[in-house]
Amino acid sequence: MQSLNDILKNLCLLDIRKPVILGFSGGPDSMALADALDFLKFPFHAVHVNHRLRPEADDEEVLVREIARQRGWSLSVEVVDCDSFARTSHRSVEDAARQLRYRALFATAEVHEAQAVITAHHADDQAETILMHILRGSGLSGITGMHYRSLPNAWSNTIPLVRPMLDVWRTDILAYCEKRGLVTVHDSSNQDVGYLRNRIRWELLPTLESYNPKVKQHLVSLAKILHDDDQLLGLLADEAWLKCVREEREGFVRFSTQCLRMQSLPVIRRIFRRAAFQVVLGLNELDFSAVERLVDFLDSPTRTRRMNWMGGIQASMEGAFFVVYSPTAARSGNFPQMTADGVIKLDIPGRLDLGNGWTMEAFVEESTIAENLSFSDPLMVYVDADKIQSPLSVRRFSSGDRFEPYGMPGTDIRLGDFFTNAHVPLRVRKTIPLVCHGRQIIWVAGVRLAHFCRITEATRRIVCLRCYSVDEDCPAN
């Protein structure tokens, strides 16, 4: 108990006065941890996830509820549909169950404002995890296995995942449960060798133990030895990340290509791993070959300067930038987006919703003196009101579109060629709003104004066109 108490405070960095969310299957591991937390008077709320994968799952839920009632423990139960989620997300049932379980734990932690999610993973789990990662081709971080405290993690950037029992072996847990007279749930799926972890537990590890009976202990020791090396590389990679990243948000990271290429190969690999986990929240594994494909693309870009990296994640070289992104990213940098098909009318004055968090508006500018206007924002342009007529039309790119860019009088250029010359990424071209007067393009939103409707000394009335995202303040006009 004293050892566990020290680990909770010193390695998991928990405050004994604040509650945690405990993953509670009712099996020997989580039962022993719940009993120990109760003994230490450590406040916790238990969460039981019913995966509905076995006929006895509902009976186990009833037993878990009764155990919690008798012990006076706070408990909530989440029922999830693993089979459906596995099909729709193209995951194994094992991985789908894990994802849904942790989502439930961290969602509950947010509701209860808990300081952490705590699980009962132990030393045997650690040895099995390390072997799983080795078999999947993981790098150094994977071979270090699970940690006492993980933040950020695959499910939260603010709530840590803690595992205080990583030095406790399964035999000790079973002995503890017997000594304390604890009633536990028996999960029959732990014997099913159809799952990779169970094959490792019941087939691979016994074979390895025939070569060395202490193989599990050596695997756990290996993880501890490599952890310090991994921490040092992690610090170097964190420093490089801050130097190289030019923009980051959910589903999107943009790097300076030059800065990336100045880093050492181990650091670049770390950066790309971090980018993958940031772009795809909940990503579980990333094998070595996937990272190497992105390293090769950085060294030798394809002719199109784009690649489908993995699992829907894209990578592209855009001017001086190296971009890793998900096609479902909410927005694409400073390029406005329009999700609706067809043509939408924009009155002057007027405002319309472009979708995907973007709004466009048109209003009459009071000043007619160019010196009083700001031309520094690419998302706002001024046009000669006498060269256009309300309502304007707004639509997306269409094959055959042509454009007379500002500063290029008399030049009728294909819009696709203009995009290429202006280094507009392929990933955003088909969603950039085009503001038109009749068949003429007035403004490629966020990119360039047309030359014919520019403000001149002869301009007497001015209309302002502006795009903004939901993160910006709406102007008063």
Q: What is the per-residue pLDDT across 383-412, written as a single tens digit (0 to 9) for each?
A: 999 999 999 999 999 888 999 999 888 888
CATH superfamily placement of domain 344-469: Phenylalanyl-trna Synthetase, Chain B, domain 3 (3.50.40.10)
Q: Is the pLDDT of residue 308 over 80?
A: yes
Average pLDDT over residues 18-38: 97
**Domain(s) of CATH 3.30.465.60: residues in the chain:** 235-325
% residues pLDDT > 70 (the chain)? 94
Is the pTM above the cut of 0.75? no
Segment 179-234, tens digit of pLDDT: 999 999 988 888 888 888 999 999 999 999 999 999 999 999 999 999 988 989 99
In this prediction, residue 473 carries a pLDDT of: 43
Q: What is the CATH number of domain 2-211?
A: 3.40.50.620
3-state helix/strand/coil string of the chain: CHHHHHHHHHCCCCCCCCCEEEECCCCHHHHHHHHHHHHCCCCEEEEEEECCCCCCHHHHHHHHHHHHHHHCCEEEEEECCHHHHHHHHCCCHHHHHHHHHHHHHHHHHHHCCCCCEECCCCHHHHHHHHHHHHHCCCCHHHHCCCCCEECCCCCCCCCCEECCCCCCCHHHHHHHHHHHCCCCCCCHHHHCCCCHHHHHHHHHHHHHHHHCCCHHHHHHHHHHHHHHHHHHHHHHHHHHHHHHEEEEECCEEEEEHHHHHCCCHHHHHHHHHHHHHHHCCCCCCCCHHHHHHHHHHHHCCCCCCEEEEECCEEEEEECCEEEEECCCCCCECCECCCCCCCCEEECCCEEEEEECCEEEEEEEECCCCHHHCCCCCCCEEEEEHHHCCCCEEEECCCCCCEECECCCCCCCEEHHHHHHHCCCCHHHHCCCCEEEECCEEEEECCCEEECCCCCCCCCCCEEEEEEEECCCCCCCC
Average pLDDT over residues 26-30: 96
Segment 42-98, tens digit of pLDDT: 999 999 999 999 899 999 999 999 999 999 999 999 999 999 999 988 888 888 999
**Domain(s) of CATH 3.40.50.620: residues in the chain:** 2-211
In this prediction, residue 40 carries a pLDDT of: 96
Class of domain 235-325 as given by CATH: alpha beta
**Domain(s) of CATH 3.50.40.10: residues in the chain:** 344-469
